[in-house]
Amino acid sequence: MSNNTDVKMLRNKLFFNHINIYSIVSDKELKYVESFAEDYKKFLNDAKTEREAISYFLKSANENGFEEFDVDKKYEPGSRVYRINREKSVAFAIIGKEGCKNGFRLVVSHVDSPRLDLKPHPLYEKNELALFKTHYYGGIKKYQWTTLPLALHGKVILKDGTRISVVIGEKEDDPCFCVTDLLPHLAKEQMAKAMTKAIEGEDLNVLVGSLPFKTGGGSELVKLNILNILNEKYGIIESDFSFAEFEMVPAFKARDIGFDKSLIGAYGHDDRCCGYTSFQSLINLKIPEKTCIALFVDKEEIGSDGNTGMKSSFAKHFLGDLTLHDGIKNRIVFYKSKAISADVNAAFDPNFAAQYDALNSSYINKGVVITKYTGSGGKAGASDASAEFMGEIREMFERKKIVWQSGQLGKVDAGGGGTVAKYVANLNIDVVDMGIPLLSMHAPFEVISKLDLYEMSRAISAFFE
């Protein structure tokens, strides 16, 4: 045997090599990948807000045999239950053969995405144009939200208590809206500013109309005309805006990217790509050994606070009620349980290579990303999975032949970020971050790979099983 052969064999044995999923996926699997991606794109188009995502999951769950959880009811293995929280977070569970006595399997995803929220008093008129004032939600690059077609989604409680859902801008014959920007011919001063100052929060005002009310005189006739249109269609008056949740989101649909159609570009991949895969993996389960739970939470993009975020007691109470159902104290069950914080990670972008550590980045088409720890700087705000639990995850990957990679969110001092993992860890549950590599994170148009989406669904299914 030659020295070259010896070296090759030793490299194959000792080195970790990223695998491009395309090199090992079968033609039969590729057809499934395409079908799965098409269904996912429909989900993205139908679920652009946290309420809409939860509504989508609930409708599908009811079609797949789930019922509202009753803590006083006795459930047999295979029973499918859920608990809804204020239409913005929900937990689904399939009771396992062992129940919760040896711990449960939990996957947590968030369903909120960066966007523009309307202020409580949003509508105003200036120079015979009507605009909405907004307050951006989550970490965004503000300049990316100008000159985009935007749709209005939300829920409003009218003066008489009537609840109205509003979606304007998604149908082909709907109007859409936009934030205008300054023409380059006059933008010398603007373009000399830092990117964070070129467009400021108070500049993100959405153009909503220009025609004045036809009859009568007086001021603010364009504003009056807009209110009259909303009143005739929805019964809305101006004070109703203070009792509403209105969100401006990109109006475009999810699209294939590239000549080979290998990628998906869309709004809201973060974190609905992980939410969709975890939900589909759960509903396709038969009767698992351990009780399996898919939890979907709100407010992750602004710190997980509030009664629908991961910091609330909703998840703890639901998980505790499941353990009480088996007559076991939750602190014992939590210690034995395992969890995945299903969230995206930043894919290496060759256009911005200087911000990444190439050895410790995730890559498109290289499979699910396992992230041992998150945080920023010196791991501030991190959840750091143990070597023992990481070993269990690797054993699962190897046994199920899951294509995986490890990754971090850029260079150590370049920035950073966190997920809901630390709040799961605070319950004394073993947890690690796992997700899909994402390009242009938090932009109105993000990009993922269809193959990575498929591999994420396989990985979560393996975890549940």
Confidence category of residue 215, pLDDT binned at 50, 70, 90: confident
Burial 393-430 (b: 16+ CB within 10 A, else e): beebbeeeebbbbbbbbbeeeeebbbbbbbbbbebebb
Among candidate residues 263, 412, 257, 281, the one with its CA nearest the CA of residue 342: 281
For 376-388, how does the pLDDT look when each residue is reduced to its tens digit (9 = 90+)?
Answer: 888 888 899 999 9
pLDDT attached to residue 328: 87
Cis check: omega of the bond before 271, within 30 degrees of 0: yes
The 10 Å Cβ neighbour count of residue 455 is 24
413 touches 366 (CB < 8 A): no
Strand 105-110 to strand 292-297: parallel, antiparallel, or no bridges (unpaired)? parallel
For 121-141, how does the pLDDT look when each residue is reduced to its tens digit (9 = 90+)?
Answer: 999 999 999 999 999 999 999
Rounded-to-10 torsion of CA 196, 199, 201, 204: -150
Segment (H or E) for 270: helix 269-283
Q: What backbone phi and psi angles, to 5 degrees, belong to 194? A: -65, 150
Residues 6+ apart with CB under 8 A from 33: 25, 450, 451, 453, 454
Question: What Å distances lie between residue 60 and 43, 356, 362, CA to CA?
Answer: 11, 39, 32
Enumerate the domain spans of the chain: 14-113+267-464, 115-250
For 145-183, how does the pLDDT look when each residue is reduced to its tens digit (9 = 90+)?
Answer: 999 999 999 999 999 999 999 999 999 999 999 999 999
Distance CA 288, CA 255 (A): 35
Among candidate residues 92, 134, 140, the one with its CA nearest the CA of residue 114: 140
CATH topology (fold) of 115-250: Aminopeptidase i, Domain 2 (2.30.250)
Residues forming a β-bridge with 85? 89
Confidence category of residue 31, pLDDT binned at 50, 70, 90: very high
Give the tokens for residue 390. Answer: 């990481």
Say if residue 175 is exposed, middle or buried (CB neighbours under 10 Å; 0-12, 13-18, 19+): middle
Which residue intervals of 139-252 are DSSP H helices? 188-192, 195-198, 221-234
424 touches 341 (CB < 8 A): yes
Domain 14-113+267-464 CATH class label: alpha beta
Confidence category of residue 325, pLDDT binned at 50, 70, 90: confident
